[in-house]
């Protein structure tokens, strides 16, 4: 092929590339605004500087042209990478997968990326994920159940948003919490209305603020019920461990009546409790009622289907990302706990006579 042909082909490829990769100048020309206005709108810094109508025109022009901003260049200009780290205990838990989906959805609306860091040990301490990545992050969103992975981040200049954690935590810039105590009160009220007075709390053996709140709320609710008794039995967060814990709780002991209701910290624990009841020849809910917490897909896969507390996992992730964006922008995140809802199903019924 002659040099002339190479030159012609190179020019054609350059022309095609310029068509395929519209610039901010192209967006500005299509929207009838300046490049500075395009930068403000697509950088989400337009409020108070540009009208909503102009912002809409810019976004529409960018979408029609297929324009994508050069995030690497923008990061150098702004001194930010537009990247958040989400720290969770494990991806095998459906709840945290949904938390990630909610955080990623809000992040995408603001041209942010979310890097996911699951603890390699599952629930509990993890290796330091920040030593090599700290300079590539704008902030961190973390579950309190992965607190062991956060020792390296506390005390640095990276803002930290904690999910389902102690509001008094001095090391976090913001918290996003659920009304966990309210959920446990809903469970207690439901069971009391069905006539139950003999309770066993299959409590997570994992030390975490969220599980401590559940235990305190159940204690307080049970104290308000005349004639109620409450036994707490620690349980691993897996089906087999929960089954063994529930079998111990349901085994008749002289001088102690068999419990009529098993209140479980988690749907997985509740699944183990249902298995324990069947192994002991007990019927759910005729002989013993079982409740869970989370409302995972598992809750409706069980037979009978599980009465449980629905936690809005995607809202937790979305609120966590929104809180981080507020902190980065110098704004105060919205206060208030996210509401939870009891979902009564067939695993609870009247207390046996």
For residue 229, the surrounding DSSP H or E stretch is strand 229-235
Number of H helices, E strands in the chain: 12, 11
Taking the C-alpha atoms of residue 243 and residue 273, their distance in angstroms, rounded to an integer, is 5
Of the candidates 292, 295, 275, 122, the one whose C-alpha atom is nearest the C-alpha of residue 202 is 292
Model's pTM, two decimal places? 0.75
Answer whether CATH 3.20.20.60 is correct for domain 79-176: no
Q: Give the ranges where 224-312 is alpha helix by DSSP (H).
A: 239-250, 267-279, 298-301
Sign of CA dihedral 275, 280, 281, 283: negative
Q: Where are the beta strands (DSSP E) in 128-207?
A: 139-143, 160-163, 174-176, 198-204
Q: Which two tokens stand for residue 351?
A: 């207390």
Strand, helix or coil for residue 286? coil
CATH 1.10.260 positions along the chain are 3-69
Q: Show Cβ contacts of residue 98 under 8 Å, excluding neighbours closer than 6 positions.
A: 313, 314, 317
Sign of CA dihedral 54, 55, 61, 64: negative
For residue 172, the model assigns a pLDDT of: 85
Query: Across-strand partners of 114?
Result: 84
CATH 3.40.50.2300 positions along the chain are 79-176, 180-312
For residue 151, the model assigns a pLDDT of: 63
For residue 35, the model assigns a pLDDT of: 78
Query: CA separation (Å) from 53 to 56, 66, 259, 314, 332?
Result: 5, 20, 63, 30, 27
Q: Give the ranges where 66-179 is alpha helix by DSSP (H).
A: 71-78, 94-109
Sign of CA dihedral 309, 310, 314, 319: negative
Q: Options 1.10.286, 3.40.1000, 1.10.260, 3.30.70; which CATH number does 3-69 get?
A: 1.10.260
Taking the C-alpha atoms of residue 103 and residue 108, their distance in angstroms, rounded to an integer, is 9
For residue 279, the model assigns a pLDDT of: 96
State the architecture of 180-312 in CATH terms. Answer: 3-Layer(aba) Sandwich (3.40)
| C-beta of residue 112 within 8 angstroms of C-beta of residue 325 | yes
| C-beta of residue 316 within 8 angstroms of C-beta of residue 99 | yes
Of the candidates 180, 179, 184, 345, the one whose C-alpha atom is nearest the C-alpha of residue 263 is 184
pLDDT tens track of the chain, all 353 residues?
444 444 444 444 444 444 457 887 888 899 998 877 887 787 777 777 788 889 889 889 988 888 876 554 444 444 467 889 898 887 677 899 999 999 999 999 888 989 888 765 554 444 555 554 555 788 889 888 766 656 666 656 788 899 998 888 777 889 999 999 999 999 999 999 999 999 999 999 988 899 999 999 999 999 999 999 999 999 999 999 999 999 999 987 777 789 999 999 999 999 999 999 999 999 999 999 999 999 999 999 999 999 999 999 999 999 999 999 999 888 888 888 999 999 999 999 999 98
């Amino acid at each position: 092929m002659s040099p002339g042909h190479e030159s012609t082909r190179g020019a054609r490829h350059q022309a095609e590339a310029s068509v395929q990769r519209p610039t901010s100048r192209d967006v500005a020309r299509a929207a009838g605004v300046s490049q500075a206005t395009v930068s403000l709108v697509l950088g989400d810094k337009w409020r108070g500087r540009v009208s909503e109508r102009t912002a809409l025109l810019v976004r529409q022009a960018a979408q029609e042209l297929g324009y994508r901003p050069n995030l690497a260049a923008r990061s150098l200009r702004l001194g930010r990478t537009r990247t958040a780290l989400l720290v969770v205990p494990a991806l095998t838990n459906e709840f945290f997968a949904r938390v990630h989906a909610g955080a990623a959805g809000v992040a995408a609306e603001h041209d942010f990326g979310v890097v996911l860091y699951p603890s390699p040990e599952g629930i509990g301490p993890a290796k330091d994920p920040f030593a090599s990545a700290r300079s590539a992050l704008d902030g961190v969103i973390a579950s309190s159940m992965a607190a062991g992975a956060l020792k390296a981040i506390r005390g640095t200049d990276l803002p930290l948003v904690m999910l389902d954690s102690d509001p008094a935590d001095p090391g976090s810039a913001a918290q996003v919490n659920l009304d966990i105590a309210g959920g446990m009160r809903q469970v207690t009220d439901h069971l009391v209305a069905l006539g139950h007075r003999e309770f066993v709390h299959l409590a997570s053996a994992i030390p975490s603020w969220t599980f401590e709140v559940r235990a305190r709320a159940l204690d307080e609710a049970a104290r308000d019920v005349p004639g109620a008794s409450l036994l707490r039995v620690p349980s691993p967060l897996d089906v087999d461990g929960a089954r063994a814990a529930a079998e111990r709780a349901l085994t008749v002991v002289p001088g102690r009546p068999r419990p009529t209701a098993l209140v479980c910290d988690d749907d997985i624990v509740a699944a183990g409790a249902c298995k324990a009841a069947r192994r002991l020849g007990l019927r759910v809910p005729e002989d013993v009622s079982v409740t869970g917490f989370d409302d995972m897909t598992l809750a409706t896969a069980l037979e009978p289907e599980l009465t449980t507390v629905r936690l809005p996992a995607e809202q937790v992730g979305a609120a966590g990302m929104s809180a981080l964006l507020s902190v980065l922008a110098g704004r105060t995140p919205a206060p208030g706990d996210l509401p939870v809802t009891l979902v009564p199903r067939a695993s609870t019924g009247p207390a046996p006579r």
